[in-house]
Structure 1
Amino acid sequence: MAEKKVTWLELFYDLLFVAAVSKATHVLLHVEHGSISIEHLEKFILIFVPIWWAWVGQTVYNNRFGQDSTTHRIFMILQLFFVLIMTASLDADFDANYAPFLVGYIGLRGLTAVQYLVSARRDTKLRQETARFLGTYFWLGIVISCLSLFFDSWARYLILYAGIAIDIIVPLIGRTYLVKTPIHTAHLLERFALFTLILLGESVISMLSVLQSDKFTASSILFASLAFILIIAIWWQYFENVEKRVDKSKQTAGQTIIYGHLFIYCSLSMIAAAIQLLFLEQLEYIFILCFTFTSVLIYFLSVMFVFHRYRFNHLNLNFKIILSLTGMLCTLFTLDLFIVASPHLILGEIMLFFIVFAKATA
């Protein structure tokens, strides 16, 4: 399979999603009565999933069918306009901006579906079948989501996310088509790794917020230093695996990478929020402890799941290593349940876990 390079327009496309990711993460910073309410946790998921899927839709299309032509650029530039509309509408008060959010999301998904149908008229037979299947059946989810505009309250969201769920499931149903037109693995891993950098940027922002909120006291400097080492450890583990431990020549449907990264991205956003919330000490101890360790556990399991499928055979991890790392995380959590730990200590424990994780897997 010929090498496929990331284009400058793809990188610019990612840039506009930075604000969307930041707004989604900010929803987790709403503290009420010592906890993040169920409502805000739900809103985080409800905001994050469409952002992820809108970005994934165009990224995977570019991977399989994208060419740096004038027509393709026009399609992407039009999508950038809808990214701006969707991003501007994102807020904890989701109801007030529902219409512009829907316009932005539907615009993005509709243009991607049209791109598939255009490709279905131009490509080879097998690729035509794949493009036609996706370009046709994506419209099911899009139309159902559009119908939500005619409803109010909970029914509106039920219909919207039923459409999004169908949209997400379509490639899984059409796996027989996708395996016949495999992804460019190196390109797809690079694209998802670049978006991972955006999510790591949220942790950097949290670290800076800590320094600014406490005016560079010894406490804030120590906490920010621990956060910095934590971020470096996450970066080291992830990108060392992407660069040196995975077989980029494998030809697959790419679904492990695509769907596994939803949980990687969500957990990175949660870790970024946890850094700020730990330092501010506005949450009840048990809540912030569970929130922080759950975020780390989701990230750990997701990364192991995604990279295991693509690791070189001679670099496959021993099950004992996975079990040991899980045991380490559970032990630290259990100790903190019985011995009330300071925010600095909790962050230090998470930092230590990621250092060991990076050493063991990279």
Structure 2
Amino acid sequence: MSTATARRFGVQRMAGRDPHEPHRVASPLELFFDLVFVIAVSQASQSLHHGIVDGHAATAVTGYAMVFFAIWWAWMNFTWFASAFDTDDWLYRVTTILQMGGVLVLAAGAQAALADGEWAAVTWGYVIMRLAMVIQWCRAAASDPRQRTVALRYAVGISCVQLVWVARLALPGDAQFWSFWPAMLLELLVPVWAERSRRTPWHPHHIAERYSLFVLILLGESLLASANAVIGALHAGTHGAGIVGLAVAGLLLAAGIWWLYFSDDHGERLTGVRTGFGVGYAHYFIFAAVGALSAGIEVELDLMSGEVEQLSGSAASFALAVPVFVFMVTVWAVLLRHKLSSPASAVFLACALAVLASAALPVVTVLGTTACVVIAVATVEIGRARRTGAAAM
């Protein structure tokens, strides 16, 4: 399509944007895009919750990790593409909405995948999202000669991996499970291979803001799910004082996670290809842990209310402690390690280990986990105050 024809139909040339563009913020379309992913995360966390209380914790956690990979990877690929090539014309919007439709298909199949091992709906929803990205990359290749090679590498790489995902559906159940991991590895390698030809012009601080907004949305989803469960238990007249205490702990944990993640600006960690990939890929664990927080609180609530007999205290404790532990360790390794002093890092990691150790004592898990997060927040805040004071002198 010629430039004149494209303009006549209201389509802009999809050229790489300036990675140093001032005041770059998330667009309304990006915020709208995030909302449908929260639906998918909610379905995955609810299925994780039910799997744990039904006594299938290992299967539920593995299934959650697999479904969450599909959610996270599709979200992250769109986010980095939008940072580099967002045109916000009608064709870009329609293609993005097509991806949102794929998310809804994936969300509809999340429960069947985690409970029954039926991966067809999740796979087709994922493939819809990824093929929409192929359309976007082909458009970028046709519009921007400088980015043509990297865009075509993305388009070809993504298309080939989708054939693997679809072919995987023809395999028996066990083979589908084991074939997931090499297919996942192929997905992770596509950007590494594509960006070796030329770096796409993503905006580091725009990416950091997008990650931050998604963390906020995940925290909001966790708070809502936990609040609904607590309200339902209170209306049923179950252990009022204990339920209120769990609700307070849930709020403090969400606030602590927010405080730790937003303790500083992380845009500078996304400027280079190596650090950008490292931080971007590590956010899988951050997002998955925050998404699983509500499941852990709901499992604790089920144990407290006595609604499930087969649920042990240790299983409930690990359901809450493990997501918090994973979040703390990943945030320290990726975002905080370079900003904390050695003593502060030691205290922070000790708190993370204490969170995990508290799961061995079901009676004190909720209180111990909450106390460790509060101490970690205080440690990070003291370090931030010292850096601010040193910079002001």
Distance in 2 separating the partners of 1:130 and 1:67: 18
Q: Is 1:274–1:288's contact at 8 Å kept on the other side of the alignment?
A: yes
1:166 to 181, 186, 195: 186
Q: Is 1:146–1:160's contact at 8 Å kept on the other side of the alignment?
A: no
In the alignment, what sits opposite 2:129? 108
Residue 46 of structure 1 deviates from its aligned partner by 1.5
Secondary structure of the corresponding residue to residue 85 of structure 1: helix
Residue 21 of structure 1 deviates from its aligned partner by 0.3
Q: Is 1:63–1:183's contact at 8 Å kept on the other side of the alignment?
A: yes
- For 1:328-343, what aligned pairs fall within 5 Å after superposition? 328-331=351-354, 333-334=356-357, 337=360, 341-342=363-364
Query: Is it true that 1:266 corresponds to 2:294 in the alignment?
Result: no
In the alignment, what sits opposite 2:79? 59
Query: Is it true that 1:197 corresponds to 2:225 in the alignment?
Result: no
- The residue type paired with residue 296 of structure 1 is V
Distance in 2 separating the partners of 1:135 and 1:361: 44
1:306 to 334, 345, 359: 334
Q: Is 2:314–2:359's contact at 8 Å kept on the other side of the alignment?
A: no
Distance in 2 separating the partners of 1:67 and 1:116: 13
**Structure 2 vs 1, CA of residues 185 and 57 (structure 1 numbering), >3 Å: closer, same or farther?**
same
Give the structure-2-normalised TM-score.
Answer: 0.80
In the alignment, what sits opposite 1:294? 322
Residue 265 of structure 1 deviates from its aligned partner by 0.9
Q: Is 1:149–1:156's contact at 8 Å kept on the other side of the alignment?
A: yes
- Following TM superposition, where does structure 1 have runs of at least 4 consecutive aligned residues deviating by more than 6 angstroms? none
- The residue type paired with residue 126 of structure 2 is Y
Distance in 2 separating the partners of 1:59 and 1:37: 32
Structure exhibiting the larger radius of gyration computed from Cα positions: 2
Give the structure-1-normalised TM-score.
Answer: 0.86
Secondary structure of the corresponding residue to residue 196 of structure 2: helix
In the alignment, what sits opposite 1:85? 105
In the alignment, what sits opposite 1:230? 253
**Structure 2 vs 1, CA of residues 359 and 44 (structure 1 numbering), >3 Å: closer, same or farther?**
same
**Structure 2 vs 1, CA of residues 361 and 46 (structure 1 numbering), >3 Å: closer, same or farther?**
farther
**Structure 2 vs 1, CA of residues 37 and 232 (structure 1 numbering), >3 Å: closer, same or farther?**
closer
Residue 124 of structure 1 deviates from its aligned partner by 4.2
**Greater CA deviation, 108-117 or 143-152?**
143-152
Distance in 1 separating the partners of 2:130 and 2:270: 29
Q: Is 1:267–1:295's contact at 8 Å kept on the other side of the alignment?
A: yes
Query: Is it true that 1:207 corresponds to 2:226 in the alignment?
Result: yes
Distance in 2 separating the partners of 1:25 and 1:187: 28
Residue 108 of structure 1 deviates from its aligned partner by 0.7
Secondary structure of the corresponding residue to residue 247 of structure 1: helix
Secondary structure of the corresponding residue to residue 340 of structure 2: coil
Q: Is 2:321–2:369's contact at 8 Å kept on the other side of the alignment?
A: no
Q: Is 1:329–1:353's contact at 8 Å kept on the other side of the alignment?
A: no
Distance in 1 separating the partners of 2:270 and 2:68: 31
Residue 163 of structure 1 deviates from its aligned partner by 2.6
Query: Is it true that 1:240 corresponds to 2:260 in the alignment?
Result: no
Q: Is 1:200–1:231's contact at 8 Å kept on the other side of the alignment?
A: yes
- The residue type paired with residue 219 of structure 1 is G
2:69 to 28, 49, 54: 49
Residue 63 of structure 1 deviates from its aligned partner by 1.2
Residue 160 of structure 1 deviates from its aligned partner by 4.7
Residue 150 of structure 1 deviates from its aligned partner by 2.4
- Fraction of identical pairs, as percent: 23
How many residues end up aligned between the 2 structures?
352
Residue 151 of structure 1 deviates from its aligned partner by 2.3
Distance in 1 separating the partners of 2:211 and 2:183: 24
**Structure 2 vs 1, CA of residues 100 and 176 (structure 1 numbering), >3 Å: closer, same or farther?**
same
- For 1:30-49, what aligned pairs fall within 5 Å after superposition? 30=50, 35-49=55-69
Query: Is it true that 1:2 corresponds to 2:21 in the alignment?
Result: yes
**Structure 2 vs 1, CA of residues 51 and 140 (structure 1 numbering), >3 Å: closer, same or farther?**
same
In the alignment, what sits opposite 2:148? 128
Query: Is it true that 1:355 corresponds to 2:374 in the alignment?
Result: no
**Greater CA deviation, 340-349 or 213-222?**
340-349
- For the aligned residues, what is the CA RMSD? 2.7
Residue 112 of structure 1 deviates from its aligned partner by 0.3
In the alignment, what sits opposite 2:277? 255
Q: Is 2:358–2:369's contact at 8 Å kept on the other side of the alignment?
A: no
Distance in 2 separating the partners of 1:333 and 1:108: 36
Secondary structure of the corresponding residue to residue 257 of structure 1: helix
Residue 266 of structure 1 deviates from its aligned partner by 1.2
Structure 2 gaps of 5+ residues are 1-19, 385-393
